[in-house]
Structure 1
């Protein structure tokens, strides 16, 4: 387990954090397809909080994309690096998530975040932020649609519908509601960095053979919760 300190110069106010988002958002790459599903590595990242102690634990779990077997896993624990502000949650998590990724003994491949990429009020959620900082292809697979709207996808697994944001001239597709299990509530997929939306959805389906949530996220969620318990002694 890696112990993490808040980096020097890390944003301390809402305005500083939004300025960082504005600066980095223009570096998101949207014209790369990304790695083919079922090839190489796929890494899930997730965090858990101890609000009483102001501690956050992050986990990174690398899977073989073809078999979904666990190849490597790491954890990191640190102080929460930013207060809770909707739309700025990445600033609470990124230092610890980066430390977990940096500790991996192998190439992460595609990184799957339990959250959002372009499906974000400022079009720069955790998956996009993490992708720009690391250069890795990233996607966001969230459990709820945040502030966006969608029509319920058809019942069969693999059905999808646009996740829509209101704009001054109508609506904009920022992701997709994707049915990963027949008749079960969809997940919400968005591009982070260096992956197309079609490919992000294909990866999500490849990662959900048995459950609604990607195997990468399921493993990372269990691991970060365990790391948080161990850090508490």
Structure 2
């Protein structure tokens, strides 16, 4: 019963923090898009060691124009927060911030493999992390997160750049965006300090012919697999 009590108390505190931060989300561009030089992709991978759970966070920083990799960093550690639906950011944020501390460059924008505004309280990892990074953030997910367990998305037309808004109770939570013809859509939601239009334009600009996933998060995802294997061996 003590563990359940602690988990319930944890959820109550996490919910309080999310509701407080939610009022500070700014879904507009707080930067000049032409001034963006460095963009970071962020992703995590998990594994178990006995009864304990571990994860590694990888950040890959690329040049916004040339798409050249500027820097890679990773940090691994034990996950201290149990899994609770809707509170993933509290598990991942400590490792993310430790990885950011290792960066020698200062990214202008952070793109997360995950969600931001597309969350029951608009507080996915991309949004939550923005308040600690003080930078514009975007969430780009490979699979659709059904926020209210019933609202689905409408498939965009089968053309590169086509999209459909994800609308829940009359509010736009994000977009299903097709980056190439004949590929599955990805799911864009703002994190903070950026508009949805700019986030989608950025995703298209950062997607090359090799994949339908934008380069920063695709490279970060690849790095997590490499780092996880190294940590587990």
1:213 corresponds to? 213
Which protein is richer in helix relative to its size?
2
Q: When the two structures are aligned, how many residues end up with a matched partner?
A: 219
Helix, strand or coil: the match of 1:51? strand
2:4 corresponds to? none
Q: Distance in 2 between matches of 1:60 and 1:153?
A: 30
Q: Deviations over 1:85-127 (max 9, x none)?
A: 1211111111001111121001111100011111101111100
2:152 corresponds to? 149
Q: Distance in 2 between matches of 1:188 and 1:34?
A: 23
- The 5 Å alignment of 1:58-73 reads 58-73=57-72
Helix, strand or coil: the match of 2:75? strand
1:97 corresponds to? 96
2:161 corresponds to? 158
Q: Deviations over 1:162-203 (max 9, x none)?
A: 0122x3xxx211111100111211001011011100000001
The answer to whether residue 48 in structure 2 is matched with residue 51 in structure 1 is yes
Q: Give structure 1 stretches of 5+ with no counterpart.
A: 1-10
1:23 corresponds to? 20
- State the Cα distance separating 1:38 from its structure 2 match: 9.0
Q: Distance in 1 between matches of 2:79 and 2:206?
A: 29
Query: Displaced runs of 4+ in structure 1, greater than 3 A?
Result: none
Q: Give structure 2 stretches of 5+ with no counterpart.
A: 1-7
Q: Distance in 2 between matches of 1:35 and 1:92?
A: 32
Contact 1:150 1:163 in 2 (8 A): yes
Q: Distance in 2 between matches of 1:112 and 1:35?
A: 17
Helix, strand or coil: the match of 2:85? coil
- The 5 Å alignment of 1:214-229 reads 214-229=214-229
- State the Cα distance separating 1:51 from its structure 2 match: 2.7
Contact 1:12 1:82 in 2 (8 A): no
Contact 1:38 1:66 in 2 (8 A): no
- The 5 Å alignment of 1:63-212 reads 63-147=62-146, 148-165=151-168, 167=169, 171-210=170-209, 211-212=211-212
